[in-house]
């Protein structure tokens, strides 16, 4: 079994603010990430799939098809967007990168083609120093 | 003469939109960078100074003093901010990275200590692929 | 148990073309990677070993011996080579990076010294955006 | 469950020399790393924690608290230090990076707050080419 | 005046061999780069333009137009190609990276739009360790 | 004219301490870099040469000869060394990276072969954030 990881950059903005909490608690909890007008990042998302090499092609997955899937489900709706204002998944969810990983996981799993190798891991570099990942499958 | 370059990361958001132009022209001119709620980047700014090595210390500049200057004049007011909404320099200026370089240049030059080595260059990596720089002095 | 990963760059060229398939199917399957005269990459291979720290040396493995093994079995025969033309392992195997990982795994496992820590993982960065790995052992 | 990795750079020097072995054996075993006056590295340490996202905050851990813990227990005592001379943990232990990983693991585990997510992995980049890691928990 | 640098990766293969020299001289001169079936690289090309910021747009150049120009003149004809076999510019020219820089300079200068800011510099990273550049203009 | 930059990493340790100054002044001037037992870095040195492409070879310089020169004059005497204790150039010179650049410049200029292209620039990355350079020639 081979794991193939493919990297997708996108740029977005967000503000960390929980509607259920007071302004003071939000400020204390999120610090400068709670600044009212938001800020942004060059996120880098890695999608890892795991599967056997197909003898006919020598490949685990057709990269063109993987790109098409990930770009339509994740990159197009998030890139150059404000996560709080533009992305319905965050209507009632604080757009921390932990929650961003979960949102992306749901988006991909719901539409993952049955003939694709397994979705194995999603990882997001918020900056070079902060990395978030979820192990999805094998 | 030695050139010393010091790197300062900061994260901010912006929207490219010229108030003097129609919505259609803005959309055509800036594409997805014109999205109404903005987006963001992990900017990396490099500040270069040029001067002789001081025989007493073996240094061109005291890095602690340089950091204090750059952080108070540039990083603190821009980091984790929305350039359009939070930074007065962009009240009537579109926050392209070209203009961001100019704004930072003005901020630094206006307060540059006379006993510092010359400010030589300001460079900003908007992403790994887009780099903007201004040569200030020698 | 400690995992030690050591990185080995090498540059090679390849062409993706399956002899068992028609030219049209090859072109459709591999796109520009099927271009007749090939193209190339700066591959970066990571070899990971896993084992206990030896109390006498404070090390998991002698890095000099690991380098000697990996360089003779993998780097020397692949570096600055055309995988299709120069490397017998690809006489009947399409040199996708998935198959490259498998070829390297076989080369290393067949000659892995019994007194070495376990070979744990082989990972190849084809580019910064495409990463392939196989988990060999613990 | 989400894994969060946070990166901490520090610069230190060391000399690889086992007091229990002769000078000749040390020279043979450690090569140029045995040079009598030592040498140094820009180490980059990654600390990974694993846990559930807290519904109230959308976070796995408060990054400020994690930073405070790691900086006081690891970065402050090691950064800009000579591991052999300045760090008591290496009084009788050769400061290989394998042992450095173990020392850091012990320092963190002994004081890990019970209300923190699990400490999952410690990884050190000695250089870009040499990476050492220990899997601590899930 | 602002300098804007934009980065374009492409993968290609080449063989260093001068038709005017004997096989022995070629082998001596180019070493493993003379291997008969060639090898390859992930080249990264940087194109730098220099000009004034346009007051109307806040930009030095329209990035979309710059990309279109560079991709049609350079990236499309070189990416995933064998420089010796596929690119007519190298019919009688050894495809060293020095000559590659010159070929790209000629391609860009011959078709550089008169209303563009000046072409300032072309730089190619053959690997992370070998960088070639030509200063074209201001 | 083409500029060729070649990168050479080396690891070394140093302590910033001026013998002519009191301990208090040294501590104030150099902060943690004055710690008595020193610390270290993975330095990356770039050597840039500038010259015309030789029509016969398509090259600016023979990389093998450049490597031999730089490795014997700079890398071998500095790599895995303590700059204060092992390198005579620092007997009476504080090993700041500014002075390190000057020492390397002198070492290279004194032995630069007359048939080589001009030595153009020496640049040292002390860390990713601190870069020092001297422009030697054209």
* Nearest CA distance, F56 vs chain B (angstrom): 35
> Among candidates A32, E134, D123, B47, which has minimal Cα distance to F50?
E134
Flag residues of chain D having pLDDT under 50.
none
pLDDT surpassing 90 at residue E138 = no
Mean pLDDT of all residues belonging to chain B: 97
- Interface of chain A against chain C, CB under 8 Å? 1-7, 46, 53, 56-60, 62-64
The shortest CB-CB distance from B82 to any of A37, A41, A86 is to A37
Give kind and range of the element (H or E) at residue B63.
helix B63-70
pLDDT surpassing 80 at residue B112 = yes
Residue reference for tokens 């450690």: D30
C99·A53 Cβ contact <8 A: yes
Residue reference for tokens 């040499």: D130
Catalytic residue ranges of F: 33, 80, 126
Average pLDDT over residues B2-7: 98
Residues in chain E with CB shorter than 8 Å from the CB of F64 are 31
- DSSP state, residue B119: E
What integer pLDDT is reported at residue B15 of this predicted model? 98
* Nearest CA distance, A135 vs chain C (angstrom): 15
Q: How is residue E88 written in tokens?
A: 């007519």
* Nearest CA distance, F31 vs chain E (angstrom): 33
pLDDT tens by residue, F82-113: 999 999 999 999 999 999 999 999 999 999 99
Chains sharing 3 or more CB pairs under 8 A with chain A: B, C, D
What integer pLDDT is reported at residue F138 of this predicted model? 58
Please state, in angstroms and rounded to a whole number, the distance separating the CA atoms of residues C3 and E30.
38
pLDDT surpassing 90 at residue E137 = no
What integer pLDDT is reported at residue F42 of this predicted model? 98
Number of other residues whose CB lies within 10 A of the CB of residue D62: 15
Contacts (Cβ under 8 Å, ≥6 apart) of A4: A48, A49, A50, A60, A61, A117, C98, C130, C131, C132
**Position A75 confidence tier, pLDDT thresholds 50, 70, 90:** very high
Q: How is residue E25 written in tokens?
A: 């001289």
pLDDT surpassing 90 at residue A137 = no
> Among candidates D129, D127, D87, D82, which has minimal Cα distance to D104?
D87
Please state, in angstroms and rounded to a whole number, the distance separating the CA atoms of residues B119 and B105.
9
What integer pLDDT is reported at residue D23 of this predicted model? 97
pLDDT tens by residue, A80-132: 999 999 999 999 999 999 999 999 999 999 999 999 999 999 999 999 999 99
> Among candidates D128, D132, D80, which has minimal Cα distance to D105?
D132
Q: How is residue B50 written in tokens?
A: 């040029």
Indicate which of D48, D93, D98 best probes the interface with C, i.e. most C CBs within 10 Å of its own CB.
D98
Residue reference for tokens 């620039």: F121
Residues in chain A with CB shorter than 8 Å from the CB of B32 are 79-80
The shortest CB-CB distance from B58 to any of F31, F99, F129 is to F99
Give kind and range of the element (H or E) at residue E125.
strand E118-125
- DSSP state, residue C58: T
E57·B96 Cβ contact <8 A: yes
Please state, in angstroms and rounded to a whole number, the distance separating the CA atoms of residues F117 and E127.
21
Determine B/E contact with 3+ CB pairs under 8 A as the test.
Answer: yes
Which pTM was predicted? 0.97
pLDDT tens by residue, E111-135: 999 999 999 999 999 999 999 999 9
Q: How is residue D58 written in tokens?
A: 């959308």
Name E66's bridge partners: none
Contacts (Cβ under 8 Å, ≥6 apart) of A8: A44, A45, A46, A47, A70, A71, A74, A75
Average pLDDT over residues F30-56: 97
- Interface of chain C against chain E, CB under 8 Å? 9, 11-14, 32-33, 35, 37-42, 79-82, 84-86, 127-128
Q: Measured between alpha carbons, how far is residue A123 from residues A8, B42, F124, F132 in Å?
A: 10, 18, 33, 35
Please state, in angstroms and rounded to a whole number, the distance separating the CA atoms of residues F70 and A121.
44
Average pLDDT over residues B31-37: 97
Q: Cα–chain-centroid distance for residue A129?
A: 17
Number of other residues whose CB lies within 10 A of the CB of residue A24: 8
Choosing from C39, C80, C98, C133, the catalytic residue is: C80
Query: Under DSSP, is residue E92 helix (H, G, I), strand (E, B) or coil?
Result: coil
A1·C134 Cβ contact <8 A: yes
Please state, in angstroms and rounded to a whole number, the distance separating the CA atoms of residues D50 and D66.
13
Average pLDDT over residues F67-71: 98
Indicate which of D3, D71, D121 best probes the interface with A, i.e. most A CBs within 10 Å of its own CB.
D3
Residues in chain D with CB shorter than 8 Å from the CB of F32 are 79-80
Contacts (Cβ under 8 Å, ≥6 apart) of B62: F29
C2·D94 Cβ contact <8 A: no
B98·E7 Cβ contact <8 A: no
What integer pLDDT is reported at residue C79 of this predicted model? 98
> Among candidates C96, E19, A136, A29, which has minimal Cα distance to D1?
A136
pLDDT tens by residue, B56-106: 999 999 999 999 999 999 999 999 999 999 999 999 999 999 999 999 999
> Are D49 and D116 contacting, i.e. CB atoms less than 8 angstroms apart?
yes
> Among candidates E2, F52, A130, which has minimal Cα distance to D6?
A130
pLDDT surpassing 90 at residue F16 = yes
- Residue C64 CB-density burial (10 A; 0-12 exposed, 13-18 middle, 19+ buried): exposed
Chains sharing 3 or more CB pairs under 8 A with chain E: B, C, F
Q: Is D33 a catalytic residue?
A: yes
Q: What is the ipTM of this complex?
A: 0.95
C13·E13 Cβ contact <8 A: yes
E strands, chain D, where?
2-14, 39-51, 81-82, 118-125, 130-135
pLDDT above 70 covers what percent of chain A? Answer: 99
pLDDT tens by residue, C10-51: 999 999 999 999 999 999 999 999 999 999 999 999 999 999
The full 3-state SS of A80-115, as one line of letters, equals CEEHHHHCHHHCCCCCCHHHHHHHHHHHHHHCCCCC
Q: How is residue D108 written in tokens?
A: 């963190």
Calculate the dihedral angle through the C-alpha atoms of F20, F24, F25, F27, rounding to the nearest 10 degrees.
110
State which residue of chain B sits closest to A12, comparing Cα positions.
B39
Q: DSSP H helical segments within F31-137, as ranges? A: 63-70, 76-78, 83-86, 97-110
pLDDT above 70 covers what percent of chain B? Answer: 99
What integer pLDDT is reported at residue B138 of this predicted model? 58
Please state, in angstroms and rounded to a whole number, the distance separating the CA atoms of residues A57 and A51.
13
Taken in order of first residue, the domains within chain C and their CATH numbers are 2-13+40-135 (3.30.479.10)
Determine C/F contact with 3+ CB pairs under 8 A as the test.
Answer: no
What integer pLDDT is reported at residue D83 of this predicted model? 98
Q: How is residue C66 written in tokens?
A: 């690991």
**Position B137 confidence tier, pLDDT thresholds 50, 70, 90:** confident
> Are F49 and F117 contacting, i.e. CB atoms less than 8 angstroms apart?
yes
The shortest CB-CB distance from B98 to any of E2, E5, E7 is to E2
**Position A138 confidence tier, pLDDT thresholds 50, 70, 90:** low
Chains sharing 3 or more CB pairs under 8 A with chain F: B, D, E
C38·E127 Cβ contact <8 A: no
Contacts (Cβ under 8 Å, ≥6 apart) of B97: B43, B124, B126, B130, B132
- Interface size between C and E, measured as CB pairs under 8 A: 78
What integer pLDDT is reported at residue C46 of this predicted model? 98
A130·D6 Cβ contact <8 A: yes
Contacts (Cβ under 8 Å, ≥6 apart) of A37: A15, B13, B81, B82, B84, B85, B86
Residues in chain F with CB shorter than 8 Å from the CB of E130 are 4-7, 63
What integer pLDDT is reported at residue E77 of this predicted model? 98
Number of other residues whose CB lies within 10 A of the CB of residue C21: 16
Buried/exposed A86-110: b ≥16 CB within 10 Å, e otherwise: bbebbeebbbbbbbbbbbbbebbee
- Interface of chain B against chain A, CB under 8 Å? 9, 11-14, 32-33, 35, 37-42, 79-82, 84-86, 127-128
Half-sphere exposure of C72 (CA within 13 A, CB side): 7
E strands, B37-129, where?
39-51, 81-82, 118-125
Residues in chain B with CB shorter than 8 Å from the CB of E64 are 31
Q: How is residue C70 written in tokens?
A: 């990996």
Residue reference for tokens 């040396």: C57
State which residue of chain D sits closest to C138, comparing Cα positions.
D135
pLDDT tens by residue, A46-74: 999 999 999 999 999 999 999 999 999 99
State which residue of chain E sits closest to C126, comparing Cα positions.
E42
* Nearest CA distance, E57 vs chain F (angstrom): 32
Catalytic residue ranges of E: 33, 80, 126
DSSP states along chain A? -EEEEEEEEEEEEE----TTS-HHHHHHHHGGGG-TT-EEEEEEEEEEEEEPPBTTTTBSS-HHHHHHHHIIIIIHHHTTEEHHHH-GGGSSS---HHHHHHHHHHHHHHT--TTSPEEEEEEEESSSSEEEEEE---
Mean pLDDT of all residues belonging to chain A: 97
Buried/exposed F17-54: b ≥16 CB within 10 Å, e otherwise: bbeebeeeebeebbeebbbebbbbbbbbbbbbbbbebe
Residue reference for tokens 């060729």: F4
Determine D/B contact with 3+ CB pairs under 8 A as the test.
Answer: no
């Amino acid at each position: 079994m081979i794991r193939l990881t493919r990297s997708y950059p996108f740029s977005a903005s967000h503000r960390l603010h929980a509607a259920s909490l007071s302004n003071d608690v939000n400020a204390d909890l999120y610090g400068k990430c709670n600044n009212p007008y938001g800020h942004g990042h060059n996120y880098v998302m890695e999608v890892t799939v795991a599967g056997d090499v197909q003898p006919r092609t020598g490949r685990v997955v057709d990269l063109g098809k993987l790109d098409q899937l990930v770009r339509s489900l994740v990159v197009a709706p998030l890139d150059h967007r404000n996560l709080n204002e533009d992305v319905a998944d965050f209507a009632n969810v604080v757009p921390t990168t932990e929650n961003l990983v979960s949102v992306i996981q749901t988006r991909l799993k719901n539409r993952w083609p049955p003939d694709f190798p397994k979705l194995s891991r999603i990882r997001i570099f918020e900056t070079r120093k902060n990395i978030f990942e979820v192990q999805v499958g094998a």
